[in-house]
């Protein structure tokens, strides 16, 4: 089992969330490897906590697709597969198409300003060298678009999908050759929504997602 991680204490979060965030980061950073068994007792001893917050964290990690519960084997770190990537991103693409259409209709000037600020924040995050910081900044950018739709059902579906997307987002952002492309794509998305050009906004979002699929698929194939 990976040994290069420890509990990331946070006075403002309950212990179960601290444990979840610690294990999540260990998986996303590769400190816990795909296929590796996650034994509750070992993790509890390593992090100095009881088995209860470990068990709660496992359930949340399973929902995100980061952990698989296998009969008679227990919890293991999920493999990254091209099939699961494509399944998740096909659904995301359909929902994001709808989101940008609604955003073109409903977005307000202050929300355009928020999007521009979030794009700048993402650009600055890329300088940090921490892939999880990039990922959170990217999530924030897309969340603003979701919010402008004013459709709670759609927002909820996208938020649920966002959790399953997180790992692929991180894999994409690890590729430095993606950074300039992403910056340009964010700008294109902002410009088309600001013009309320629905057709071009949909094309911009589809390109954004297609590029992610191809890049992460290439990473998965390279690792085989």
Mean pLDDT (whole number) for 179-185: 97
> pTM of the entire structure?
0.79
* Intrachain domains 15-77 and 82-223 with the same fold: no
Q: Residue 12 pLDDT more than 70?
A: yes
Q: Residue 221 pLDDT more than 80?
A: yes
Map out the domains of the chain as residue ranges. Answer: 15-77, 82-223
For residue 200, give Cα distances in angstroms to 89, 188, 194, 197: 20, 9, 11, 6
Q: Of 157, 155, 154, 150, nearest to 103 (Cα)?
A: 150
Span 15-77: which CATH code?
1.10.10.10
Instruction: Kindly report, residue by residue over 95-143, the tens digit of the pLDDT.
Output: 999 999 999 999 999 999 999 999 999 999 999 988 889 999 999 999 9
- Per-residue model confidence (pLDDT) at position 222: 85
- Per-residue model confidence (pLDDT) at position 25: 84
- Domain spanning 82-223: CATH superfamily: GntR ligand-binding domain-like (1.20.120.530)
For residue 191, give Cα distances in angstroms to 200, 205, 217: 9, 12, 28
């Amino acid at each position: 089992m990976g040994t290069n991680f420890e509990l990331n204490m946070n006075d403002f979060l309950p212990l179960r969330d601290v444990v979840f965030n610690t294990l999540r980061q260990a998986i996303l950073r590769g400190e816990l490897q795909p296929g590796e068994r996650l034994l509750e007792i070992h993790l509890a001893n390593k992090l100095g906590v009881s088995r209860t917050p470990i068990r709660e964290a496992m359930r949340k990690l399973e929902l995100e697709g980061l952990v698989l519960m296998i009969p008679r084997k227990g919890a293991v770190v999920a493999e990254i597969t091209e099939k699961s990537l494509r399944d998740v991103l096909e659904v995301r693409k359909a929902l994001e198409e709808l989101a940008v259409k609604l955003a073109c209709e409903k977005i307000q000037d202050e929300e355009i300003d928020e999007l521009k600020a979030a794009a700048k924040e993402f650009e600055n995050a890329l300088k940090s060298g921490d892939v999880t910081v990039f990922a959170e900044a990217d999530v924030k950018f897309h969340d603003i678009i979701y919010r402008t739709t004013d459709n709670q059902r759609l927002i909820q579906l996208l938020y649920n999908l966002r959790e399953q997307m997180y790992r692929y987002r991180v894999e994409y952002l690890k590729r430095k050759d993606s950074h300039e492309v992403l910056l340009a794509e964010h700008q294109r998305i902002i410009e088309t929504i600001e013009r309320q050009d629905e057709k071009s906004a949909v094309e911009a979002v589809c390109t954004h997602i297609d590029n992610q699929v191809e890049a992460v698929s290439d990473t998965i194939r390279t690792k085989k």
